[in-house]
Each structure stands twice: as C-alpha cells, then as structure tokens.
C-alpha cells in the first residue's frame, strides 16, 4: 500500500489525482501531517508526501530504522514539478515510485542513488536476495575499485564492472559463507526441497525438518526456489504452511512421474500410500540436479513416528533468453518491460539497425552481437547458444519480436534447458492503425507479401480467404525493389469483393522521424508510393473515411442502421 500525505490545497489536488489513478494501491492519510506521516510510515510499504523535503526529513528522521525494511519515501513539491526519491531508493522502491509518480503527474523524477546514476546496476536490483556488505561493495564499484565476481552456479547476471582480483567481492552462492566486510552475497534460487508428509503433519515439524537439513548441509534458506512434492500432497496443510513461511511456492508432480525417477532411498510406505516409492527424493530430483541431502526424517520430541521427510537438490543455473520487441521506432513506444530486459542482459543479439535504436540503453559491458539483414537463422542460433552457456541474452526485433521476426526461429532452436521470456512490442499494424484512426475495429488479419520464405500460391490463397470473409487486411513487407507485382495482385483480389471506394491506409515509418501516412482507396492507391518501410491496411466493406480518419465499425446493429 502507498500512503499519501498532503498539507495544502495544491498538495491535496495532486494527491487526489494519484489516489484516483491508483485506487487499489493507495490510501489517503488525512489530519495533522506529523501524525499522518507516523501512521503511514508504520502501515505502508511506500509513502508519497506532497510536502517540502525539509519537512519530510524532519518528520521521518525519528522513524527511520533499517534500509531493508523501511518504506520507500517520495516527496512531491507543492507545484507538482518534481518527484524526489528521498529514502529507500532501491530496497523501498522509491526510485521506481518517483518515476511512476513523475509520469502520472507530469513531474520530473529526481533520483540521486549513485548506482542508478552511472549505469552500474544496484546490487539489490539484480533480482536475487542480497546479504553482506552492500554499501561497501557498491561504493567500490562506483569508485572503480577492483571487485571480484565469484559466480558459483554461473547464474545469468547483467554485466558488472568486475576485475580478476581485488579486495572487494560479489559472491553468488547458495552455501552459507562467513560474512566479510568486503563481500556481498547474492542468493540464487538454485535449491529445491522435496517434501513428503503423512496426513496432518504439523507445519512446525515440516519447517524444522527442512531448515535443519539446510543448516546442517551448510545451505542458505534464501536460495530455496520451491518445496516440491507429489500431486496428492499439494494441499497438505503442513507443507503449504511451511512453504508460505519460507516464502516459496509448492510445486507438485504426478505419482507416475516420480515413480520413474531413480533415487538412492526408495521405500514401500509411500508406494502403498501415493503410488511412488519415493516422494521427497524423487520430486527433488524430478528435473535433474545434484542430491545434496538424501532423504531424512523429522524427529519428534515425544518419540512418536516421523510424519515428514525431506531431501535437498541443487539444480544447475539456467541461461535466460528474453525475446524483446522494441516497438515501431519511437522511444516512448518501447515498453518499460522491454527496457528492463535490455538492461538485464549481458549479451544482446539483433539486426544492426535495431541495435542502433536502443544502444544508449545498454549497460556498459553488454556484449553486442549484431549482424546485417538476412542472417536471421544465424542470429537465432547465436542467441540460443549464448543462453545455453548460462548468459542473460536479449534477442531483439522491431515491433513485436514474434511477428514476422526472431521469436519463432529462436524458439525452434531452443531446448528446455533455458528460460525463455517473451516481451511483447507494438507491432507495425497497431502503430499504423493508431495513426490512421480505427481501421482494426472489427476482425482483421496481417499478411506478409514476402514470397522469400513462403510460396506465392500460399500467400494468394490467404489473401483470397480474407477477401471472401470480408476481413480487414494489413500487408507487411508489401513491396521492395525486387518484388513489385505482389501488392497490385493482392489488391486486385480484394477488389473482387470490395468497392473501389474502400478506404486503404498507407503508413510509412510509423513513429519514426520521417513518418508519413495517407488515406486513399482501393481504386486510387498508387503502389509506387509503397516500399519496405510501409504497411498497407485495406478496410472491409463497412470501413469508412470519417473526417479523414479510417474507421471500421464494430458491427453493432445500430451502426448498420446509420450506414
């Protein structure tokens, strides 16, 4: 929850805008400001104060505790010009909140945290729990002092300015290690704990068993990714509660699946009860990995028979392949999620012209593998190979990377030993539609006129089907120097089923600096005005030119009447 506090009428107006925009995320604290801040500080994860920074500093000073648990605080000045991330920049999410609030109120976000400022990722922003000397090592990174990275599992990380040797260190490990004043420990989610439990096993018994097993094996509970068990135990209260307290999900497998997993310590009891000779070991090993703690049983103080078993497995790190759509061109049509993935990558793969579109966003040290037009399959293979090596890879494409682009060749190459994350982008058809008006208000298709990889017969059959079904059509790859007869042919097929006056929108370089758009008709379209930077959208029989905008009715009955 975000607590909102204001003192004056101007502050209250801005506060109300925020409250209206985020009704489920915010709570307004009225009344005397000092009391409001104190209450909100205790009850909320974040605060936005529409007050001077000086006032807020004085009010929260006595409340500040620990940077890991304190709420993030953002100050917005009475004029609504600046959204200042005051405390809790990373841990409290205040930097991100300042940006969000800034966006909403039209205020400039002010972020002074050093790591955000110079492009070194904050150690607490890498998506892994972090322990140890965060402040000292961050400072060392910023000061350019040598920092050594010990990435034990080979976890996919963004580029970090690290050296071969030095006094400071970043260690990625699931092992319990002695704390040092010069080392940060990042906890990768590499451990899975297989759990078996008889009906009614108490949560405390399960939790103590799991924590004891981890402790004795020298493993951190913060590296546990999941509790795993057999389907039949998915709702077993003791397991569910233990997972909740560890802050991890419960993942389950079918008994037949577990019965097929080879384990060192099978037994007859679970075979009779749930149909597999092993639950704890088999579920922990179901997706491979190294058995660090073989099956062990809980110990009960009253000497009664154990009700829980567990086993711990370390899974190998998985590389990460993000398939990222960059949008049609304009920076503000690049989604925040796409931006975050670009900054998370250690390797970027893409066509050189698309790399140019986002080069300034990449973290220093990102390895860029760019290639020219054509080498599509090679790019796909390179991206997958790098991810298999354990890298964090971003494979980029313009528009949406899944639309006539890199996602399918890449996923055709990819095996299940890497994680794949898709980030959607604004595809050309949508960028063009927004410029033209509302041409896609009813059913529509995209058809690529490139017969490089698709026989023309197939393309023609699809154009014919769209024509017969009266569907709005957007043509991608409509025309190039070597391919000039396909567009007239496709338009002729559509003209067989639509009036000559049917609106046609031609948009070139949508959202790029030399954007241009024209609304014409099937009869009047001059193919010479179309090239490879263009999409062509042909309306259906209901599409109209209304005040110079291309509009396809949604097909409501009342609209039929107005035609």
Q: Which residues bind ligand SAH (CB under 6 A)?
A: 328-329, 397-400, 403-405, 427-428, 431-432, 476-478, 507-512, 532-535
Tell me how far, at minimum, the Cβ of 323 lies from ligand SAH, in Å: 11
Q: CB–CB of 126/331 below 8 Å?
A: no
Its sign, for the CA torsion 179, 184, 185, 187, is positive
* Between 2 and 428, CB nearer to ligand SAH: 428
Q: Which segments within 125-208 are labelled E, that is strand? A: 130-132, 147-151, 168-172, 183-186, 191-197
Q: How far apart are CA 402 and CA 398, in angstroms?
A: 10
- Residues 6 or more apart from 446 whose CB is under 8 A from it? 403, 427, 429, 473, 474, 475, 476
Tokens 């620990």, residue located? 66
What's the order of all strands across the beta sheet hosting 250-253? Answer: 250-253, 224-230, 191-197, 308-314, 290-297
Question: Which CB sits closer to ligand SAH, 98 or 323?
Answer: 323
CA nearest 156: which of 191, 190, 184, 122?
190
Cβ 506 to ligand SAH shortest distance, Å: 9
Beta carbon nearer to ligand SAH, 366 or 398? 398
| Per-position DSSP letters for 262-305, written without gaps between them | --S---HHHHHHHS-S-SHHHHHHTT--EEEEEEEE---TT-PP
Asked if 280 contacts 195 with a C-beta cutoff of 8 angstroms, the reply is yes
Closest alpha carbon to 511 in 429, 451, 395: 429
The single residue listed with the structure tokens 């497998």 is 253
Nearest-angstrom CA–CA distance, 443 and 531: 25
236 close to 243: Cβ distance less than 8 angstroms: no
Neighbours of 369 (CB within 10 A): 16
Using Cβ positions, the residue closest to ligand SAH within the complex turns out to be 399
Q: Does residue 74 contact residue 68 with C-beta atoms inside 8 Å?
A: no
């Amino acid at each position: 929850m975000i607590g909102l506090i204001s003192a004056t009428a101007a502050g209250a107006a801005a506060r109300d805008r925020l409250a209206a925009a985020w009704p489920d995320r915010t709570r307004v604290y009225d009344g005397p400001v000092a009391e409001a801040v104190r209450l909100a500080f205790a009850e909320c994860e974040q605060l936005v104060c529409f007050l001077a920074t000086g006032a807020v500093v004085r009010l929260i000073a006595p409340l500040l505790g620990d940077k890991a648990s304190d709420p993030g605080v953002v100050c917005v000045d009475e004029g609504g010009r600046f959204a200042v991330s005051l405390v809790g920049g990373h841990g409290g999410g205040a930097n991100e909140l300042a940006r969000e609030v800034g966006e909403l109120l039209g205020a400039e976000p002010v972020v002074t945290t050093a790591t955000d400022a110079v492009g070194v990722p904050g150690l607490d922003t890498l998506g892994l729990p972090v322990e140890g000397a965060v402040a000292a090592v961050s400072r060392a990174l910023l000061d350019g002092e040598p920092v050594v990275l010990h990435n034990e599992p080979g976890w996919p990380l963004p580029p970090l300015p690290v050296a071969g040797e030095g006094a400071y260190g970043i260690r990625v490990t699931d092992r319990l290690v002695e704390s040092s004043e010069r080392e940060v420990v990042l906890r990768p989610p590499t451990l899975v704990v297989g759990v078996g439990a008889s009906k009614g096993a108490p949560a405390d018994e399960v939790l103590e068993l799991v924590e004891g097993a981890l402790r004795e094996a020298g493993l951190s509970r913060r590296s546990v990714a999941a509790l795993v068990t057999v389907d039949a135990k998915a709702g077993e209260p003791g397991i569910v509660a233990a997972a909740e307290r560890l802050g991890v999900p419960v993942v389950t497998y079918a008994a037949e699946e577990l019965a097929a997993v080879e384990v060192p310590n099978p037994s007859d009891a679970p075979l009779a009860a749930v149909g597999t000779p092993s639950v704890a070991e088999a579920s922990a090993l179901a997706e491979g990995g190294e058995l660090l703690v073989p099956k062990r049983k809980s110990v009960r103080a009253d000497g009664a028979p154990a009700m829980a078993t567990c086993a711990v497995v370390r899974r190998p790190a998985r590389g990460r392949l993000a398939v990222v759509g960059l949008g049609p061109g304009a920076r503000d049509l690049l989604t925040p999620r796409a931006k975050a993935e670009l900054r998370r990558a250690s390797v970027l793969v893409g066509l050189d012209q698309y790399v140019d579109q986002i080069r300034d966003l990449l973290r220093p040290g990102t390895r860029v593998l760019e290639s020219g037009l054509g080498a599509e399959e090679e790019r796909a293979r390179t991206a997958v190979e790098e991810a298999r090596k354990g890298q964090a890879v971003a494979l980029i494409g313009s528009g949406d990377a899944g639309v006539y682009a890199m996602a399918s060749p890449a996923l055709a190459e990819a095996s299940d030993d890497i994680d794949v994350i898709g980030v959607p982008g604004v595809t050309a058809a949508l960028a063009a539609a927004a410029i033209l008006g509302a041409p896609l208000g009813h059913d529509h298709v995209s058809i690529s006129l490139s017969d490089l990889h698709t026989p023309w017969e197939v393309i023609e059959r699809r154009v014919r089907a769209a024509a017969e079904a009266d569907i709005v059509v957007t043509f991608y790859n409509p025309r190039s120097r070597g391919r000039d007869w396909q567009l007239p042919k496709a338009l002729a097929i559509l003209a067989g089923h639509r009036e000559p006056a049917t609106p046609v929108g031609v948009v070139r370089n949508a959202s790029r600096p030399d954007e241009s758009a024209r609304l014409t008709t099937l009869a009047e379209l001059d193919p010479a005005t179309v090239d490879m930077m263009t999409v062509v959208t042909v309306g259906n029989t209901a599409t109209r030119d209304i005040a110079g905008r291309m509009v396809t009715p949604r097909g409501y009955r009342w609209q039929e009447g107005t035609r």
